[in-house]
Structure 1
Amino acid sequence: MKFLIVFVALFAIALARPDVHTLREESDVGPESYKFAVETSDGTKKEEEGHLKGAGTDDEAISVKGSYSWVDTDGNSHTINYIADENGFQPEGVDVPKA
């Protein structure tokens, strides 16, 4: 869980470029779950929530659901929705190639 908190903090720092301003930043971190949201003035958005499944068992795992979006240099908006759990990272979106 400490790794996750550090990752979120580093992500926020990376977004804090001088020409881009944070419009919204929310977080709620607990011992078995978390969620956060960040939105910046350049159109970038990231929302994620996760929770611990099977706490204290051999099948203990973190299940994560989230999305991120950005605006490219042509002004087009892109969004990726994802789930990350014991089955791996599973992204969905127009920009994700289909197998």
Structure 2
Amino acid sequence: MLVFYAITMGPIIESILIIFITKLVGKFTKNKFKITIITAILFACGHTYSYEYKFLIFVPSLILVCSYVLYDNKSSKISSFSIMTIIHSLYNLMQILSTELIYYYLVN
């Protein structure tokens, strides 16, 4: 069940949160670079596992926010929300698979 959440529901909910933060930051500046950096920092800080994890999650957060900001185009066939959610789901899947493989080879 946790794997299902990490690959489907987690990315959807967090993508909605990223859009909300992006739009909120966008009220204070129109500079896409500033919006991207500030949103990624705020999103990373929202992960409360540890300070190290906040630091480690910044780069993936930056990639997710960039995918939303850069693809935020109404004429595109696929929405920026969908692109960001797919990237997020694939990232989570890779994390789960790599963790399982490492665990499998270290334990067996």
Higher relative contact order (CA 8 A, sep 6+): 2
Higher strand share: 1
